[in-house]
Amino acid sequence: MTVYKFLPLAAASLLAACGGQRDSVAHDVAMAPADAFLAAVAAHCGKAFEGHIAVNEPKGTGPDPFDGKRLVMHVRGCDDASHTLRIPFHVGDDHSRTWVLGRTDTGLRLKHDHRHADGSPDAVTMYGGDSAPPGTAQRQSFPVDADSVAMFRKAGMEASVTNTWAMEIEPDKTFVYELTRPGGRRFQVVFDLAHPVALPPAPWGADTEPTNR
């Protein structure tokens, strides 16, 4: 995996400027933060990092699936052709979650791939949204999309129809995954990029996904 392949627009901007293609330049400049963010994450491909819950408000009344569990992210699947990253998020012995982060024509898209232990898709999977432009090279936010809203409503998950996810990166220092909702809900996990850890097991359903370890 070549990190620079996740930065296709920098050269395009220069060529467009030389050719006087002002509309193309404006588009490329607007997309630059998304490409820089994706490249910053891709630079950690093949490595795993441990995290901790920094914020979890308000606390629910029932058991929390994250309490007392080791949290590990693994920048595992890096597909140059589609400019897509697959990042399993391991919660203890639960290997069901993978973040899928990729380019679109207007920015980035975040999806959550949820699987059962046998690799089959969960009933609620591949939900997420497209980035709110332009974002920055350090932070991108993803308001819930219409397909995900419909999925949540069908599953009786009304609280999730106003989700906004976000990711932040300070290269070689920290990576942040965040979920917020109107009304005060905020969940945030912070990962230590300065100290890679041993690679976790493959995520459930890994035999059906591309991988560059």
Higher pLDDT, 184 or 176: 176
Which of 24-33's residues contact partners 24+ apart within 8 Å by CB, and which partners? 30/133, 30/134, 31/106, 31/107, 31/134, 32/137, 33/134, 33/135, 33/136, 33/137, 33/140
Q: Where does the pLDDT of residue 16 fall: very low under 50, low under 70, confident under 90, or very high at 90 and above?
A: very low
Task: Note the Cα 12 to chain centre separation in Å.
Answer: 25
127-130 and 94-103 beta bridge pairing = unpaired
- Among 97, 89, 88, 91, residue whose Cα is nearest residue 116: 97
Task: Please determine, for residue 198, whether its predicted confidence score (pLDDT) is greater than 50.
Answer: yes
CA end-to-end span of the chain, whole Å? 9
Task: Give the C-alpha separation, 69 to 50, whole Å.
Answer: 11
For 54-99, the pLDDT digits (tens) are: 999 997 777 888 989 999 999 998 877 778 999 999 999 999 999 9
Task: Give the C-alpha separation, 193 to 211, whole Å.
Answer: 20
Task: Please determine, for residue 8, whether its predicted confidence score (pLDDT) is greater than 70.
Answer: no
Higher pLDDT, 63 or 51: 51
Task: Please determine, for residue 210, whether its predicted confidence score (pLDDT) is greater than 80.
Answer: no
Higher pLDDT, 145 or 65: 145
Across the chain, mean pLDDT equals: 86
Task: Please determine, for residue 169, whether its predicted confidence score (pLDDT) is greater than 80.
Answer: yes
This prediction has a pTM of: 0.85
Token pair belonging to 196: 């890679």
Q: Around Cβ 121, how many Cβ atoms within 10 Å?
A: 14
